[in-house]
Structure 1
Amino acid sequence: MFEEHIKKIYLSYGEIARRISPNFGYIIEDLKKSGMRYTLEEYLSLAIFISLIVTAVEIPIITFIFSFFMPVIIAIVFALVFSAIGGVVIFFLFTTYPKAQVSNLASKIEKGLPFSVSYMVASASSDAPPITIFESISKIEEYPELKQQALNVIRDVKGMGMDMLTALRREAKRTPSKEFRDLLLGLEATLTSGGDVTSFLSGKANNLFKQYQNKIKTHADLLSMLTEMYITIMIVGPIFFMILSSVMAVIGGAGNILAMQALISFVLMPIISVAFAFYINIASP
């Protein structure tokens, strides 16, 4: 269904997209690695369409808000300017999204890589064919992004008839993860030279687990620092402010002070708490 809408959007804005596409050639590689199955022209057409929709929606809303503070004509002019700026910002956010998606996928792949390589070691030690190594990690449901990488190799070998070495090189070019790319190229070199696959994977697993342990240690230090910051900002800070504001209220009146206390207690502190929780979640290894 969504693909049909993309085709309609491309028919409407494809010509504009083709004209500007030479300026955005750097997006092509990120589109492939992110798994977004669009051509550059289709993706730019979608970006143009969404930007125009946002601009069209912003104009009446901004005009309505500004009309309370200035004449309607001036409000319309401001609305046109701010809406145009908003549309341009949305378009350029679209152009950066594939790279952000690649980074996100790489992080998810590398999070499960140390544990998945252990499965690969077990498969390799049984002297099974190399494709069995990837079949073992394609059954791991906990890391769907890594599972998809393994399924790509299996599809190339069993579905498209590629030899194992070609499939490994092909997936190494497509994967967004540098760690997984190094693993694939190392495995390809080991198979080409007739080396011991089990020894290679065991060494790789040990290195990956050491890196994972270092990430855990770094994250623990970060959590300790964030905990101290949170206690200072969310407990000590408000107490100090309440005492200070209460003294100021006695001296100069309580009107504005009460409003500030309410703003900090019911708006600022919840926002800071959510921000801390969000950052801890995305920073976890």
Structure 2
Amino acid sequence: MVKLATAREARLYGPALAVRRWEYVNAGAYAFAALLLAAGLAALSAGGGASRAGLATAAVALAAVAAVNAHDLAAHLAGVDWRVGLARFDAQLGLVEFLVPALHAAGCVLAVAGLALLVSQGEEGARYSYGREMHAANMLLAAAVLWLLGSVLNSCQVYERADGRAQLLQSSVQVPLLLGSLLFLVAAVVNRRRVSGSWRREPGVLVGRSWAWLCLVGSLLWLAAALLNVLKVFKMHQSDALRLEKLRGGAQERLSRDREGRVPLNWEEVARRAALPTELR
């Protein structure tokens, strides 16, 4: 899940306008990808000739989710000047800001690979490969495990300084994301058992209907989390009284000392001074 818009000072990785723009872009891109995923799985659940197109659409949507989470991870790393070692002092920095987008991105990559294997299955029975379908089922199961683990870690984010509204907005995103990831895991387990328990399949059937319907409900929960995330980004930028969380365990002080003399914290002031003549700076 996109985590750029948090109540942490570490999110200040650039000029305020650029930060706001990228947080809106990330939230919007994630919502669009979640909608595309739900549409693809809905087409897959409907069956008929749309099964292959539904799988392909879902794969494209998950690739977009992976790209958004990868950018999210890069932005969080840039927010602390790429000092991964600060995670030793602040557990939430490593487990939430770093590990959550990494797990979700890796899960999406595995899921895209698994869906690609399913799409590559031929329509004729002679071209069907049981081994390929088993590999796809294993990849989808591994992806669901990573998503669930990332969602559980995402729920571990605790705010101490932020007001109740910020915490409520954060929880409203965490809960549907966690429930959706859990449904994806249940669907993957059901699908894995279906594939391992049968050496034959009906011609033209790429996935089981139970897997498709469970994944559809899970994708709708992800879509709800994505829309609530857009609302969270909007509300957090509209609030002038939002108290930002500092890095814990002395990590904030270490980051500030390291930035001192190299990267000033007030980006707007730096831009204003750069525009002045040398004698007036």
Please say whether Structure 1 and Structure 2 have the same fold, judged by a TM-score greater than 0.5: no
Give the TM-score normalised by the residue count of structure 1. 0.32
Hey, which of these two has a bigger chunk of helix by percent?
A: 1
Higher relative contact order (CA 8 A, sep 6+): 2
User: Who wins on radius of gyration, i.e. which is larger?
Assistant: 1
Give the TM-score normalised by the residue count of structure 2. 0.32
